[in-house]
A and B are shown apart, each in its own frame.
Chain A
Amino acid sequence: MITVNSLKHTFLIGKKGNEKKIEVLKDIDFHIERGEIVSVVGKSGSGKSTLLQTIAGFMKPDSGSIMVNNTEIAKYNEKQSAAFRLDNFGFIFQNFQLLPAQTVFENIELPLKLKGVSRGIRKKKVTELLQKVGLTEVADHYPNELSGGQQQRVSIARAMITNPPIILADEPTGSLDSQTEKEILALIQKLNKEENLTFVIITHDEEVALIANRQFRMTDGVLVRVGGMTHAF
């Protein structure tokens, strides 16, 4: 499903003319199968978010290859990346990234709008998904009227609405209390089982990382496998 080979990326920091090179991704290699939950755990600045952003196409790596469903996406331009994201990736962010002026319903249907899906089909799909994530009651609410857990559910629903094979989650529980965190992780596991969705979870929280089938650790740009799934909620 996702195969990353020899992925390298460098940031230049400091004043112009006096920049320092920081290698954030050092020869990253890994493979993810369909239906897996994979976690990448690491401290701040370890390069884990950069890895996710590179896979997502938010930035281009200096070198290396990213194959998703046998398609090389590392060299895609902005337009190609956007189109590929729309069809293949769903995103869950730490601070939910919902549009405050749009209702829950409108936030969830946004990717369908971008795909040019008609209003009738959108309504049907969003209604079904709202039921699945338990948000039917708040469909017409605005994000600021919801709790953190509800907002993250909306974010998960938005990520799933186009049925993408892969969900990329960057610190999905970073802004939630421990009880809500458990609920969200349980939802991710449920969706993984029921929908056969592939999840790539970036987290600094060792506990969260444990829900994955396979866990990786990122340390100073180096990715190593640290274990399989041993923990259940």
Chain B
Amino acid sequence: MLFKDQLQFVFQHMKKNKLRVTMTVLAAMIGCAFLIVLASIGFGIQQTLKNEILNDEDITQIELWNDGTLSSKDQKFIEGIDHVKVVLNRAEISGGVKSIFEDREGESNALMVDMGAQKELPSNLSEGRLPKKSSEIVVGYHYAQNLLNEADQAEIERKSKEADAAGTYYDGSEEGFKGDLLNKQVTLQFYDEETTEYSEPATFTIVGILKQPSYEWAVDSKVLFSDSLLEVYPNLVTSPSSKIYVDSIENVMPVLDLLKEQNYQVYSQVEQLDELDMFFLIFKIGLIFIGTIAILIASIGIFNTMTMAVTERTREIGVLKAIGASPSLIQRLFLMESSFIGVLGTGLAIIVSYGISFAANAVLPYVVSFALSDEDLSSYDITFSLIPWSLVVIAGGISLIVAIISGWRPARNATKIEVIQALRQEL
């Protein structure tokens, strides 16, 4: 029998039992759509967290911790590793620094950075330049916001109280110095944690301002000094650390592995990414397993429909066999019918799932914000549901295989129908 005649034969029968076939297709669709939508939550959350990590500007950095400053031998070794661009030594100044500008004051974290190495990296400044002298500094994007006078402090206190009463939080972003700080001079005092006293005030020039942090919620008010500061303040207590910059994200793990083999204490966000992938792989397999149960339930419907189809068509099968249809053809015709039910159900499920996924991503941020009475989540890049092609292929494959297996037994039974018995059946 020609394939198109087989198709026509199958469609003719499906058309004849429109209602029953439609209900079975719907059951298959619901089962498959449930699987896709359920698993899409796993894919969505993974994507959101992955984006969060990948958006971090530090993604190609490897953190290196030492007991002291990195020795020149170690530095040379690390710089010699393939794909390592720069080794940036930095030291956090314990106790931080107090800034005084006009009638304003503010506390900040303070860092000394090897500006020679920093220069080799892509600029992290929104304006200005890197310090060339020990009396020059670069400040964080929110440094000006951190400089408060008494009026600002009172205003922040008032707004915080109001926010507290409303069950929210006020971050003080509306106060602080509003003018341009570039090339302005500020007075700084280092805080000594041991003596709990500030150093003598010294004047520094702000020569650069850092870029805004990639996270909207992050507040960056730190002060960056050139490492030549130690020549002026040799008694500063610092915690040195190093950052290794790798040329691309793919090369981070090989470099990291090599450094670990050499017993360096290293960490990269990419490691977190790998752990995240592994966790979500297991999570998604779990979700797909649960979703498959829904497909299995739908398969009972397909099995019933096909069993009824075979029973109802016993005489017809008998006639076909009598005039020369082979058992394999009979089996194929019924398997095609159950497969079509599976294909139709899966096709519709994919369309419906994409619709649900789109609607979920559009509506859920508002619903969650409303339910939690929290800030507006819609401004964040959160993916609640994501349907990649791999999920469509996996779910479609499972759905089709289950549909074919469900139709297998009835199709086999159809081939076993005896011509003589079948022809005796009444119309």
Contacts and interface: CB of A to CB of B under 8 A. Distances in A.
Interface in B289-337: 315-316, 318-329
A114 B321 contact: no
A113 B322 contact: no
Contacts of A86: 323-325
Given A113-B1, A114-B1, A116-B1, A91 B420 contact: no
A124 interface: no
B123 interface: no
A101 B324 CA distance: 19
Nearest to A90: B323
B2 A79 contact: no
Contacts of B325: 82, 86, 114
B327 A82 contact: yes
A65 to B, nearest CB: 21
Contacts of A98: 319
Contacts of A45: none
Contacts of B321: 82
Given A113-B2, A114-B1, A118-B2, A58 B326 contact: no
A85 to B, nearest CB: 4
Contact of B16 (A79, A91, A101): A101
B427 interface: yes
Contacts of B9: 113
Contact of A83 (B5, B319, B324, B419): B324
Interface of chain B, main secondary structure: helix
A71 interface: no
Contact of B423 (A82, A87, A97): A97
Contact of B324 (A95, A100, A111, A118): A111
B12 A79 contact: no
B323 A114 contact: yes
A78 B327 contact: yes
A58 B419 contact: yes
A3 interface: no
Nearest to B6: A113
A82 B319 contact: no
A62 B117 CA distance: 97
A82 B320 CA distance: 10
Contact of A79 (B318, B322, B327, B427): B327
Nearest to B423: A97
A85 B323 contact: yes
A110 B13 CA distance: 15
Given A83-B324, A85-B324, A86-B324, A97 B1 contact: no
Interface in A71-96: 78-79, 82-83, 85-87, 89, 91, 93, 95
Contacts of A83: 324, 326
A59 interface: yes
A53 B420 contact: yes
B319 A97 contact: yes
B322 A56 contact: yes
A229 B397 CA distance: 65
B427 A91 contact: no
A99 interface: yes
Contacts of B2: 113, 116, 118
Nearest to A164: B324
B427 A100 contact: yes
A97 B16 contact: no
Given A59-B420, A116-B2, A99 B316 contact: yes
Contacts of A56: 322
B16 A82 contact: no
A58 to B, nearest CB: 4
Contacts of B420: 53, 58-59
A214 interface: no
Nearest to A143: B427
Given A58-B419, A58-B420, A114 B316 contact: no
A85 B329 CA distance: 15
Nearest to A86: B324
A118 B16 CA distance: 25
Nearest to A118: B2
A88 B315 CA distance: 22
A158 interface: yes
Given A99-B319, A110-B320, A113-B1, 8 more contacts: A53-B420, A56-B322, A58-B419, A82-B324, A86-B324, A101-B12, A111-B324, A115-B324
Interface of B: 1-2, 5, 9, 12-13, 16, 315-316, 318-329, 418-420, 423, 427
Closest 7 CB pairs of A and B: A86-B324, A85-B324, A58-B419, A82-B326, A113-B5, A97-B319, A111-B323
26 contacts: A53-B419, A58-B420, A59-B420, A79-B326, A79-B327, A82-B324, A82-B326, A83-B324, A83-B326, A86-B324, A87-B324, A91-B323, A93-B423, A95-B427, A97-B318, A97-B322, A97-B423, A99-B316, A100-B427, A102-B12, A113-B1, A114-B323, A114-B324, A114-B329, A115-B1, A158-B323
